[in-house]
């Protein structure tokens, strides 16, 4: 069978092909992962990066635009581009989507009360890519809004990344847990995946949160990832929606 000479031959593309700006993005992410630029640091200008990678400034700009959209970098008008940080107050509610019914944002206060190293259960091991029995750090805490306990978190962390984490360190200061993990352990949460479902309060959560046994709660199971799409945290959060609702912006 002969090919119709008038029909162009199909183009063969390599399965490993990546647009040039994506390759630059990968180089930049690798630099972040290796600590060349720390959270809060300014990165070189687009012109300097274009010279470094021997590409056009437009290619660098496209890579940075995508990283800014993914909250890896932050552009500041007239100042430059900076590595995103959890210490920025504007990032506090990036992963916490609970809003009071009246719409007025109130400062959440973290109240950790448990921190121990334990063996990973089959469920925890599966989520974090571990073997059953591998060491994880379990943190339990209440999150209070205006003094009211609204969230009861059970947080599982990779023990090898959080060696030395203690209850005293968790209680030190007003910063968020993600800010603590970033500044003291060098672990930055890049993105997270959540699963939500309605459950009834059990005896433990009812006592912790001051709700009735069986009262509806929102269970939010979150897996948080650092650079390289590596899962480093799994948390099960029980949310009281008596006076709050969960908000997610789509689009």
Q: What is the CATH number of the domain that holds 48?
A: 1.10.10.10
Q: Which residues contact 23 (CB under 8 A, 6 or more apart)?
A: none
% pLDDT > 70, the chain: 87
The predicted pLDDT at position 236 comes to: 96
Q: How far apart are CA 2 and CA 235, in angstroms?
A: 61
In this predicted model, which residue has the larger pLDDT, 150 or 98? Answer: 150
Q: Among 87-91, 100-104, 115-119, 236-240, which stretch is predicted with the lowest mean pLDDT?
A: 87-91
Count how many Cα atoms sit within 13 Å of the Cα of residue 174 in the half-sphere of its side chain: 4
Regarding whether 63 and 146 lie in a shared domain, the answer is no
The predicted pLDDT at position 119 comes to: 98
The predicted pLDDT at position 33 comes to: 85
pLDDT band at 121 (very low <50, low <70, confident <90, very high): very high
**7 in a structural domain:** no
**14 in a structural domain:** no
Let me know if 142 is exposed, middle or buried by CB neighbors in 10 A (0-12, 13-18, 19+). middle
Beta strands in 8-147 (DSSP E): 73-76, 80-83, 98-100, 108-119, 135-145
Mean pLDDT of 145-173: 92
**Given the structure tokens 């031959």, which residue do they identify?**
9
The predicted pLDDT at position 70 comes to: 82
Q: Give the number of domains in the chain.
A: 2
Q: How far apart are CA 237 and CA 155, in angstroms?
A: 8
Q: Which residues contact 237 (CB under 8 A, 6 or more apart)?
A: 151, 152, 153, 154, 219, 220, 221, 222
The predicted pLDDT at position 175 comes to: 76
Q: Which residues contact 46 (CB under 8 A, 6 or more apart)?
A: 57, 60, 61, 64, 81
Does residue 151 register a pLDDT over 80?
yes
Contact at 8 Å (CB) between 220 and 203? no
Q: Report which listed range, 10-24, 92-106, 136-150, 235-249, is most confident.
A: 136-150
Last residue within a domain, chosen from 49, 83, 117: 83
**227 in a structural domain:** yes
Mean pLDDT of 7-15: 42
Regarding whether 68 and 119 lie in a shared domain, the answer is no
Count how many Cα atoms sit within 13 Å of the Cα of residue 56 in the half-sphere of its side chain: 5
Tell me the per-residue pLDDT of 39-61, one tens digit each, with 9 for 90 and over: 889 999 999 999 999 999 999 99
Regarding whether 227 and 152 lie in a shared domain, the answer is yes
Regarding whether 60 and 140 lie in a shared domain, the answer is no
**10 in a structural domain:** no
Q: Which helix (H) or strand (E) covers residue 193, if one does?
A: strand 191-200
**150 in a structural domain:** yes
Regarding whether 163 and 79 lie in a shared domain, the answer is no
Q: Which helix (H) or strand (E) covers residue 194, if one does?
A: strand 191-200
Regarding whether 152 and 64 lie in a shared domain, the answer is no
Does residue 90 register a pLDDT over 60?
no
- Residue 208: domain span: 89-246
Q: How far is CA 8 from CA 2, 13, 14, 77, 167, in A?
A: 13, 15, 19, 48, 67
Measured in Å, how far apart are the chain's first and last C-alpha atoms? 50
């Amino acid at each position: 069978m002969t090919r119709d000479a008038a029909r162009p031959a199909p183009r063969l593309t390599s399965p490993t092909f990546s647009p040039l700006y994506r390759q630059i993005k990968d180089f930049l992410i690798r630099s972040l992962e290796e600590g060349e630029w720390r959270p809060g640091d300014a990165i070189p200008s687009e012109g300097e990066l274009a010279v470094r990678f021997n590409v056009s400034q437009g290619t660098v700009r496209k890579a940075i635009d995508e990283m800014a959209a993914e909250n890896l970098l932050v552009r500041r008008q007239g100042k430059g581009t900076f590595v995103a940080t959890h210490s920025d107050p504007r990032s506090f509610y990036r992963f916490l989507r609970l809003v009071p019914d009246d719409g007025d944002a109130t400062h959440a206060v973290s109240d950790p009360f448990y921190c121990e190293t334990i063996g990973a259960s089959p469920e925890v091991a599966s989520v974090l890519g571990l073997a059953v029995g591998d060491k994880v750090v379990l943190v339990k805490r209440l999150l209070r809004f205006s003094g009211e306990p609204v969230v009861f978190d059970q947080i599982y962390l990779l023990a090898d990344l959080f060696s030395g984490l203690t209850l005293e360190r968790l209680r030190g200061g007003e910063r968020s847990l993600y800010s603590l993990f970033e500044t003291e352990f060098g672990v930055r949460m890049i993105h997270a995946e959540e699963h939500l479902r309605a459950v009834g309060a059990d005896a433990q959560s009812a006592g912790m949160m001051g709700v009735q046994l069986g009262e509806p709660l929102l269970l939010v199971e979150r897996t948080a990832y650092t650079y390289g799409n590596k899962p480093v945290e799994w948390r099960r959060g029980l949310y009281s929606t008596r006076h709050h609702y969960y908000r997610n912006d789509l689009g």
